[in-house]
Amino acid sequence: MPYPVIGVSPRQLPEWAALVGHAKELAKTDLRHLFAEDPGRLAWSTFEVGPLHIDLSKHLIRQETLVLLENLARARFLPDAITAMLTGEHINVSEDRAVLHTALRNGANLAGPVDGIDVGVEVEKVLTRMEQFARAVRANQRVGCTGKPFTAIVNIGIGGSDLGPAMVTKALYDFSDKSRAVYFVSNIDPIAIDEVFNRCDPETTLFVVVSKTFGTLETLTNAKAARQWLLKALGEHEDAVEKHFVAVSTNADLVSSFGIDTENMFGFWDFIGGRYSVDSAVGLAIMLAIGPERFRSFLRGFASIDQHLRETPLSHNVPVLLGLLAVWYRNFFGAQSQAILPYSQRLARFPAYLQQLTMESNGKSVRIDGATVDYDTGAVYWGEPGTDGQHAFYQLLHQGTVLIPADFILFAEPLGGPDAQQDLLFANGLAQTRALAFGRDDAELEELGVPAQLRPARRMPGNRPTTTILAQRLTPEVLGALIALYEHSVFTQGVIWGIDSFDQWGVELGKELASELVPILTSAGAPVLDPFDTSTADLVSRYRHMRGRPT
């Protein structure tokens, strides 16, 4: 299998050069002309995938562009890469691990064991245990140490152990059991856990401590604070921790040394990356909220995209095309960022979730073969729900000097509230994609009676690319499909760039340096600051002074 390509920069490829030339050609035209020149444009640029309709027509592309991008994908052996990922090859090279989040939603597709583990069977075993537990909690059979049912679930985790469950629980609130509140604590800022303590009653609170490594400072610190809070109120009950704490982790030893019985632990495996783990046991809080059946339907949404990825030729493979379009703008138009604009209040945390998925995955400047890249990799992902964003930053999208491709995520049906407002919401989203694509020129301004001197300020250049993702309603299945779409787009980008999208060494140094600083900030006597740079030393002194410690 020639994937991964070793020792070759994608920039050296004739397929890359062809795209450079093609981008120059396209720069001579615009979306108005692209639509006018090809009445059949929608036929090749819109797709149905799982429960989603995807419209790529408002991109700065011709049909030929997709062919040229596909050629680049083939030159980087993308089909081999997809097979390697789906069959459990160790494509996470720097950590020597398989990458098998797809097995979480249909492990039965794997031909045999991976690294000695029968993944499909193990995934199903954990799911069944999660389901038993969730059913018992939801039926008030699994109760606290004083016999009271749980009214609050507190997920303690950070990064992939927080963003996924927090985003999905919010997104699927309308499908959840409202008799139990679900809280998320991630930040080590003491006020974060304190807010939860103020809202919860120890007798009726269940803590779900989620950490793949069970070694993450923020999570363990918050979990210890939670244990202390619980024991302060319920310490006379020997089984307080056993009844009020469960863990989700790959590290049984550390779970047990924290004091959580491994009977109360839900496992996953090294081949599930933190940011790809929302559909593993990491989603326990989601299952507690929406119930096992809806969680299964969430998984089916992912599986529909996985199947599409596996079975569809590159030319019609939607997550692949989305990944290739990201490369198109990043490398051939110099786009620095990508906006994510969900027209759904429930998806308010979706951009933050995607930030970890995309930026921790593709924020790399060294290829798998160790060479430093000579081209741009991962873009900055950001966004806010429409229509709030329209009244904040869309001005820059429309008339700013930078090109920012944007994903519009639209729904036909509301999740509640006055039905007619959905029409207004949808109209706004659709209108924005039109305005971004086609703008408003001087002739139109003149027709509207805008005086000549005001026309430059009111001119809308248009030609700003967007993807429209449309679904009937934000259901568990739709959300699973949406996430999987981005997961595979991220992978496609990483394959083109030749980077490892599944490690995250860049976050390690900061963690190390923070541990080094804690004793310096807290020591009883004035610390020796000579080893530090002058800025750090000065800030340490100021902090100690503000905290009333000797300097």
Task: Tell me the catalytic residues.
Answer: 360, 391, 511
364 binds ligand F6P (CB under 6 A): no
**Maximum separation of any 2 CA atoms in the chain, in Å:** 81
DSSP 8-class letter at 282: G
**Beta carbon nearer to ligand F6P, 158 or 240:** 158
Half-sphere exposure of 80 (CA within 13 A, CB side): 12
**Beta carbon nearer to ligand F6P, 282 or 289:** 282
Least Cβ distance, residue 166 to ligand F6P (angstroms): 12
| Residues 214-243 within binding reach of ligand F6P (CB under 6 A) | 216, 219
Least Cβ distance, residue 35 to ligand F6P (angstroms): 42
**Beta carbon nearer to ligand F6P, 280 or 345:** 280
CB burial string 334-370: b at 16+ within 10 A, e below: ebebbbbbbbbbbbbbbbbbbbbbbbbbbbbeebbee
502 to each of 350, 363, 487, how far by Cα in Å? 20, 11, 11
Binding span for ligand F6P by CB under 6 A among 39-47, 153-161, 442-450, 481-489: 153-161
Which 3-state string (H, E, C) describes 458-503? HCECCCCCEEEEEECCCCHHHHHHHHHHHHHHHHHHHHHHCCCCCC
Give the SS3 label for residue 333.
coil
**Beta carbon nearer to ligand F6P, 160 or 202:** 160
Among 212, 308, 440, 464, binds ligand F6P (CB under 6 A): 212
| Residues 101-140 within binding reach of ligand F6P (CB under 6 A) | none
- Name the token pair of 497: 């760039």
Q: At what angle do helices 476-497 and 318-332 cross, to 10 degrees?
A: 50
Least Cβ distance, residue 514 to ligand F6P (angstroms): 11
**Beta carbon nearer to ligand F6P, 510 or 548:** 510
Number of residues that bind ligand F6P (CB under 6 A): 14
Report whether 248 contacts 208 (CB < 8 A).
yes
202 binds ligand F6P (CB under 6 A): no
Q: Which residue has the tokens 């429960």?
A: 51
**Beta carbon nearer to ligand F6P, 10 or 274:** 274
Least Cβ distance, residue 112 to ligand F6P (angstroms): 28
Backbone angles phi, psi at 540, to 5 degrees: -60, -45
**Beta carbon nearer to ligand F6P, 165 or 389:** 165
Backbone angles phi, psi at 422, to 5 degrees: -60, -35
184 to each of 166, 230, 266, 376, 546, how far by Cα in Å? 6, 17, 18, 35, 30
Task: Give the closest residue to 295 by CA, choosing from 174, 131, 458.
Answer: 131
**Beta carbon nearer to ligand F6P, 52 or 359:** 359
Among 10, 50, 88, 274, binds ligand F6P (CB under 6 A): 274
Binding span for ligand F6P by CB under 6 A among 56-64, 211-219, 411-419, 482-490: 211-219
Among 9, 46, 213, 312, binds ligand F6P (CB under 6 A): 213
Among 4, 50, 107, 159, binds ligand F6P (CB under 6 A): 159
| Residues 428-457 within binding reach of ligand F6P (CB under 6 A) | none
**Beta carbon nearer to ligand F6P, 245 or 438:** 245
Binding span for ligand F6P by CB under 6 A among 157-165, 236-244, 255-263, 369-377: 157-165
Binding span for ligand F6P by CB under 6 A among 40-48, 105-113, 159-167, 531-539: 159-167
Among 10, 51, 107, 160, binds ligand F6P (CB under 6 A): 160
Least Cβ distance, residue 208 to ligand F6P (angstroms): 12
Q: Is residue 265 classed exposed, middle or buried when 0-12, 13-18 and 19+ CB atoms within 10 A define those classes?
A: buried
Question: Strand (E) positions, 147-255?
Answer: 152-156, 181-185, 205-210, 245-249
H/E segment holding residue 53: strand 52-55
Least Cβ distance, residue 321 to ligand F6P (angstroms): 27
Binding span for ligand F6P by CB under 6 A among 1-9, 168-176, 210-218, 392-400: 210-218
User: Pattern of binders to ligand F6P over 482-511, x per CB under 6 A?
Assistant: ----------------------x--x----
158 binds ligand F6P (CB under 6 A): yes
513 binds ligand F6P (CB under 6 A): no
Report whether 550 contacts 541 (CB < 8 A).
no
Binding span for ligand F6P by CB under 6 A among 53-61, 134-142, 158-166, 456-464: 158-166
Torsion over CA: 194, 196, 202, 206 (sign): negative
The Cα–Cα gap between 445 and 461 comes to 12
**Beta carbon nearer to ligand F6P, 247 or 326:** 247
How large is the C-alpha radius of gyration of the chain?
25
275 binds ligand F6P (CB under 6 A): yes
Report whether 18 contacts 272 (CB < 8 A).
no
| Residues 374-433 within binding reach of ligand F6P (CB under 6 A) | none
**Beta carbon nearer to ligand F6P, 203 or 360:** 360
The Cα–Cα gap between 231 and 550 comes to 34
Least Cβ distance, residue 69 to ligand F6P (angstroms): 29
Least Cβ distance, residue 383 to ligand F6P (angstroms): 20
Sequential DSSP letters for 297-318: HHHHHHHHHHHHHHHS-GGG-H
Least Cβ distance, residue 507 to ligand F6P (angstroms): 4
The Cα–Cα gap between 138 and 149 comes to 9
By the criterion CB under 6 A, which residues form the site for ligand F6P? 158-161, 211-213, 216, 219, 274-275, 360, 504, 507
